[in-house]
Chain A
Amino acid sequence: MEDIKGAGNSGDGQEMEDNKGKFLNPTPILDELEGGQWPSFITGFKELGERTEKPMIRGVLDQLEYSYKTKMGYWKGGMVTVKGYGAGIITRYSMIKDKFPEAKEFHTFRIQPAAGLHYSTKMLREVCDIWEKHGSGFMNMHGQSGNLQLIGIEQDKTQECFDELNQAGWDLGGAGATVRTAASCVGPARCEQACYDNLKVHEKVLKNYAGMTHRPEFNYKMKFKFSACPNDCANAIMRADVALIGTWRDSIQIEQENVKEWIDEYGEDALYEQVVNMCPTKAISHKVGTSTIEIENKDCVRCMHCLNVMPKALSPGKERGASLLMGGKNTLKVGVNIGSMMIPFMKLDTDEEIEEFIEQMDEIIDWWDDAGFDHERIGETIERVGMKQFLEAVGIKANIDMVVRPRDNPYYKKKYDSTAD
């Protein structure tokens, strides 16, 4: 098999025959993923490989083919960064570089896109050009945390590539024990439900924490996510240590003529089945034969259901802001944590109000720095140390909205004077 390009690979004679004139080596198992109707990443990779003839692409596809055959992964981590930073590049060396020397290095840039993943073609084309010049040309859009991930570059090209990206307005995201790249829903850019300008807050907060994004100094990672209403399209509550979710405090705005239009279109039965009966707190009422609805706003828990069903007739109230929930994370290690309510309502309209939020976060991060263990997410620290201790330490007032119900056991201790008899 001397003529296998870039060494390695396991193709048989027939495959070599079929592959004449091609730059890439045969990848019969991966080729199976070119069938079917859903867009195939393998087809994309192969076309790019044939066009650019980058050895790294050939090596990586060979190694991926080998993984599909052996059902094992072959990357190991390491430490590659750019000057002044300690995070943002995910380092990958092949563990089987003797077999696939062209896959020897395959590092990833995590790039922070604009909030809400909005792009102009000018911005994206610039990234494509810089990335094709220095890297593999593979672009992961996007990572689960919200990074634009540029996959596949060699260490000696990282600084130059970063410098060009940075000049074009891009910066690296987080990795390891840092503030991580944040995520936002589409927000006020194109959604009528948006209750605060999450895109602006995202940009301001992450710019403020840029230093903590680039240099791992925490116990562990800290993720921010910004959804502009309780529909939580950014999946903040279970994926972010810090979830800022839009809400409102006054009454839902109703336009009865549009309620009527809805009933005329879908019928009164549908109004009962899909709106009235589905309100989790039975806050909505309707009198048979009329074409209006009433909402008891004191009972409404701002779940969004009725607004989703009748967006033309119902809108969030006018006094808008956000709730702060903290501690969301996935399984490792204590199990899934859903974020819990810390501040039920904050206004975030003005720069001062956003500053106040950042100051509150600074205080919380300071506490976590001191109280947390290595590799402990903030929700785990709060649970271990105690919610009461946490609230007192960071100056948040206890509030009934923080709990599903008051405690059912008597084992708490008041402050007492131990010197008195």
Chain B
Amino acid sequence: MNAPTERTWKTIESGPHTLEGALHPVVVKNYGKWKYHKLIKPGVMVHYGHSGDALYTVRAGTPRQNTVDLVRNICDLADQYADGFMRFTIRNSVEFMFADESRIEPLIKELEEIGLPVGGIANCVAPIAHTQGWLHCDIPATDASGVAKGVMDNLYDEFKTLEMPNKVRLSTSCCSINCGGQADVAIVVKHTRPPRIDHNLLSTLCELPKAVARCPVAAIRPTIVNDKRSLMVDEEKCIVCGACFGACPSMEINHPEHSQFAVWVGGKNSNARSKPQSMSLVAEGIPNNPPHWPEVNAVVGRILKAYKAGGKPWERMNEWIDRIGWKRFFEEAELSFEIDMIDSYRHARTTFNQSTHVRF
């Protein structure tokens, strides 16, 4: 066996990569001196600088779970059309920027040829912010990448056209932690049973006090099973959040049938018009049904159809619902309000109707 070669490199704790060398020359020249922008067509916009410069942007959706091959293809296009630069949006789209208007159409053609659809700017469905799932996470109940693919296949036209009242941001998460984030429509795993405990392995795999402390409702207690130290869950108290599973892999929260999906609407980060708002539960008990998740798609489709038909220009999902009221939202999206949609957790009373305001 060869002796390992001596490590000569000394780590530089540099933090984020520097911006230097990462920006298009027109960007560098007009940095902080942009005047306004205009949408040219779906997925294409132009920014004008105070200098009079114009910078065109073409945005395309990606699979997010990319490969070096796809990234090199994107680099080829960036070299050819965008002078060797690109950036990504937080919803996984790639943006090419350049000053020469005549490059727009040939770039779009080449992007579509390698399967990357152009769109996702302004009042349309943006790509789904999603989590890792079965491909890489250690606590997932589903494969968020697969759900995202299935849902975007269905919403493909809504990504490429400008027919929504305002932006629609979607997210998918494979556990209730919801790393995918708050969104106009969020598709999030919902567990329905307390964890199943492997008493044989628990004390060897888990730090008991850590798992006990992780529970938000103090439902976990130490116990002894078959002479082994273990944990037990007060199933009355347990809110099936899955927090303990993250700390202790022997407290299996996932289940092929009992881990289901819930759909939430009205999350909004932006301060535009209404204040930022967290989302509300509107559908639950939806099966986790790979590889196409048709039941999830049906619910999301109905919600977006209703919003598209009823929303006024610039109204985000939450603002449309504020105007028409939740009762009509449930009617228009053909969903039913269930008792579990009444909040029963902390601050619950802030979501109760403390007035006589009712839409009959």
Binding site for B on A (CB under 8 A): 29-30, 32-33, 35-45, 47-48, 51, 60, 64, 67-68, 70-77, 82-85, 90, 92, 106, 108, 112-125, 127-128, 131-132, 137-142, 144, 146, 151, 159, 162-163, 166-167, 169-171, 181-183, 185-186, 188-192, 194, 197, 199-200, 202-203, 206-211, 213-214, 230-239, 245, 273-274, 278-280, 302-305, 308-309, 311-312, 315, 330-336, 338, 374-375
Contacts and interface: CB of A to CB of B under 8 A. Distances in A.
Given A132-B68, A210-B13, A305-B314, A338 B150 contact: no
A272 B275 CA distance: 21
B65 A64 contact: no
Interface of B is mostly: loop
Contacts of A38: 61, 63, 117, 149, 152-153, 156
B276 A232 contact: yes
B92 A142 contact: yes
B249 interface: yes
- 9 closest cross-chain pairs (CB), A and B: A36-B153, A71-B256, A333-B216, A188-B32, A41-B65, A67-B134, A230-B271, A38-B152, A192-B34
Nearest to A235: B269
B247 to A, nearest CB: 8
B68 A128 contact: yes
B342 to A, nearest CB: 15
Given A112-B15, A171-B14, A189-B31, A137 B273 contact: no
Interface string B67-100: 1111110110011000011111110100001000
Given A190-B47, A303-B271, A375-B214, A92 B241 contact: no
B1 to A, nearest CB: 13
A256 to B, nearest CB: 15
Interface string B123-167: 000000111111111111111011001101100100000000000
A331 B176 contact: yes
B88 A375 contact: no
Interface in B209-247: 210, 213-214, 216, 241, 243
A278 B273 CA distance: 7
Nearest to A211: B13
B176 A182 contact: no
B150 to A, nearest CB: 7
A203 B22 contact: no
A270 to B, nearest CB: 8
Contact of B85 (A118, A245, A333): A118
B285 interface: no
Nearest to A373: B213
16 contacts: A36-B152, A68-B143, A73-B254, A121-B78, A121-B84, A121-B86, A124-B86, A169-B14, A185-B90, A189-B31, A189-B87, A238-B181, A303-B273, A304-B270, A315-B36, A332-B216
Contact of B149 (A36, A82, A186): A36
Most B CB contacts (10 A, CB to CB) among A71, A85, A237 go to A71
Interface stretch (B101-109, B287-295, B329-337): B287-295
Nearest to B274: A280
B25 to A, nearest CB: 11
A224 to B, nearest CB: 11
A41 B133 CA distance: 13
B19 A73 contact: no
A203 B18 contact: yes
A332 B177 contact: yes
Given A171-B14, A211-B13, A68 B146 contact: yes
A234 B32 contact: no
Contacts of A151: 65, 135-136
A39 B138 CA distance: 25
B85 A234 contact: no
A128 B16 contact: no
A192 B182 contact: no
B7 interface: yes
A44 B346 contact: no
B137 A120 contact: no
Given A44-B66, A121-B86, A235-B181, 14 more contacts: A41-B145, A44-B67, A47-B69, A112-B15, A121-B79, A128-B75, A142-B92, A144-B181, A159-B7, A166-B14, A188-B31, A207-B14, A207-B16, A336-B278
Given A68-B146, A118-B19, A121-B78, A48 B177 contact: no
